Chain A
């Protein structure tokens, strides 16, 4: 069974940093593109970033470029999202998702990030 478990969310002040983690199990982690998607409270879905199987390609939505960095450790079956210079508009539930490119077949339950003073 595919399992994706996010962690690392919490309350942070504007301008602060957080590192999200996604622990994967039940599949060959290194064979899949991995993605982060976020959902602000009561709002729709926003694709945030993705990373190729070997980490050689990374893509970001414009609003997080230069502030967020996606990475992965295939030996640890884990993906990460380093978030710097956080803004109020980054407040959201952050989902980890696997799939083909940005076609998202399996999702975690999400970790909540709140940016507030």
Chain B
């Protein structure tokens, strides 16, 4: 099993639909993150959580929400998807030794 598992791997959804991306980790880390990758922009931080009771906005949180259901689970929701949210989404976890990323979710909003 992968240390950080993201589901689904690929998703096509329609404008206006609600969608949830899920992330689970087996590293036992307290810190979890959601990033999106766009060509020419690298990875940008959407939300992060330093423990189960802590949720913080990143640099591009508008249009997104998150839920930290447990230490191991951190989900990202798009309440009403729009085409410019088409991107590759990465979940990550970290401790003092570094970050571990999931394999990504490719989301297309049509």
Are A and B part of the same complex? no
User: Chain A: residues with CB nearer than 8 A to chain B?
Assistant: none
